[in-house]
Amino acid sequence: MDETMEQTLNNKAKGRPWGKYIVFSIIMIILLAFPVVRPPLFFLTLLFSAFMYVALTESWNLLGGYTGYISLGHIAFFSTGAYTTAVFMNRFDASPFATAILGGFFAAILTYRSLPEAGALLLALWLPWAELTAAGAVFWPRHRRAALWLLFAFALMFLGALSQAWLRGLDINCGCFGRPALVRGPAYLHYLARDLVLLGTIAWLLWRDRPVRSANSG
């Protein structure tokens, strides 16, 4: 009887392949619209906390459940990001969606163990915006060389941070190109090589766009 019922349900599911996508879309629309309709703070906080812990659980399950690797480092990044978000929400009335990015960047900087917490927080505040501004200014001919020199300094600084972490045998969270990744041992070589290629590319662009002095000048 149970096998017959299960087969019937499977046949119905196969006959309506778009049903689950429609249900998923409706749920996502409701969740996205939920904060807009200004629900009671209790329900908003409840949902925010529930999904936050779901994300934490899934992140650990990917590593500890599927690979069997025992890691308690997730809670360190989680608590650091949560603390940073809470501070900026209470002191500066910042949106938790903006501070979540800041918290993750701050937690990644701490893994390099080269700055105190105050210095890491200051770096997390201005470095992402400085990198984005410099990258955008590269496409503005009037400010291209200044932006390239700034990006060259950032890449050189990152190369130094990677090198000192490698020499000290640290396990770091790279956060390179927007994709957080655990870096340890031989994995450093990949990121060091990529940063050297980036430095070389910026140096070539600086050389190509160098000011050319005319023969009549001077």
Tell me how far apart the alpha carbons of residues 208 and 5 are, in angstroms, rounded to a whole number.
71
Q: Diameter of the chain by CA atoms?
A: 98
Q: Whole-model pTM?
A: 0.56
Tokens 């603390």 correspond to 83
**In which region does residue 68 sit, left (phi positive, over 0), alpha (psi from -120 to 50) or beta (all else)?**
left
* Residue 73 or residue 216, greater confidence: 73
Residue among 154, 161, 164, 140 nearest 202 (CA): 154
* Residue 67 or residue 159, greater confidence: 159
Task: Return the HEC string of the chain.
Answer: CHHHHHHHHHHHHHHCCCHHHHHHHHHHHHHHHCCCCCCCHHHHHHHHHHHHHHHHHHHHHHHHHCCCCCCCHHHHHHHHHHHHHHHHHHHHCCCHHHHHHHHHHHHHHHCCCCCCHHHHHHHHHHHHHHHHHHHHHCCCHHHHHHHHHHHHHHHHHHHHHHHHHHHCCCCEECCECCECCEECCCHHHHHHHHHHHHHHHHHHHHHHCCCCCCCCCC
Domain boundaries, the chain: 33-56+70-110, 117-210
Residue among 105, 110, 107 nearest 124 (CA): 105
As a dihedral over the C-alpha atoms of residue 105, residue 41, residue 75, residue 168, rounded to 10 degrees, the angle is: 20
pLDDT tens digits, one per residue of 93-140: 766 666 766 777 777 787 888 888 778 877 877 887 888 888 888 888
- Averaged pLDDT for residues 58-76: 70
Reported as a pLDDT band with limits 50, 70 and 90, residue 204 is: very high
